[in-house]
Amino acid sequence: MKLLHIDSSILGANSVSRQLSAEAVKAWVAVHPNTKVEYLDLAVNTPPHLSAEAMGFRTGQDAKTEAEREQNAISETLVSQLLEADVIVIGAPFYNFSIPTQLRSWIDRVLQGGRTFRYTANGPEGLAGGKKVIVLESRGGVYSTSEGGRAMEHQETYLQTIFGFIGITDVHFARAEGLAMGPEARAAAISKAEAEIARAVATPMQQTVAA
């Protein structure tokens, strides 16, 4: 079994999402000791944002310049990592009501027509199913308990949509919110997220049934 561990926080050792993602990987490996873990730190190795030179995987055109070949290689490495993984653990902090731009750059690279999704006569079809995703979310405020807060939240809802679009429906969120609302609130939020991690790890992976 292969596990892809992704962090995206820019806060280093002060990051709660990094703390939680490390705990999730440790918990998973404790239950599945033969798991091979590959680590990707998007704050350290950020994929370049999409540019004209990076659009080859979307147009299907062969690279004509060295810059295009370099960009295609980056995209190929990232999408191959995703497709080869059985489990994906992602640390995803809440920045400006959404996810870090580093994580968005990764998403832009791995959403590839013909690789992770395709369009059919019946609409889009995800091609990357059969994987389990555990997302570790951190938020300074509380956004899940009110209509106004949920309307401002484009982190969990966005990631749920992205993974569903590429065919991954076995997605678990461990959310630590209210981290900036005092020491007690912070401790309670982390404890709640840790309990959600335990549930996610204990939940059997969904079985993919061929159509």
Instruction: Domain ranges for the chain, please list them.
Output: 2-202
In 39-100, alpha helices (H) = 56-59, 66-84
Q: Is the CB of residue 165 less than 8 Å from the CB of residue 186? A: no
Taking Cα atoms as reference points, which of 197, 199, 159 lies closest to residue 176? 197
Where does the pLDDT of residue 58 fall: very low under 50, low under 70, confident under 90, or very high at 90 and above?
low
Residues comprising the binding site for FMN? 9, 15-17, 138-141
Where does the pLDDT of residue 117 fall: very low under 50, low under 70, confident under 90, or very high at 90 and above?
very high
Alpha carbons 61 and 90: distance in angstroms, whole number: 31
pLDDT at residue 113 above 50? yes
Question: Does the domain spanning 2-202 belong to CATH 1.10.1240.10?
Answer: no
Quote the tokens at residue 153. 């939240």
Q: Where are the beta strands (DSSP E) in 84-168?
A: 87-93, 117-120, 123-126, 132-139
User: For the residues 79-99, what does the mean pLDDT come to?
Assistant: 97
Query: 2 by DSSP, 3-state: which?
Result: strand
Q: Is the CB of residue 5 less than 8 Å from the CB of residue 23? A: no
pLDDT at residue 121 above 80? yes
Residues comprising the binding site? 9, 15-17, 138-141
pLDDT at residue 37 above 70? yes
Quote the tokens at residue 21. 């993602």
pLDDT at residue 211 above 80? no
Q: Is the CB of residue 69 less than 8 Å from the CB of residue 63? A: yes
Averaged pLDDT score across all residues of the chain: 94
Q: What pLDDT score does 209 carry? A: 44
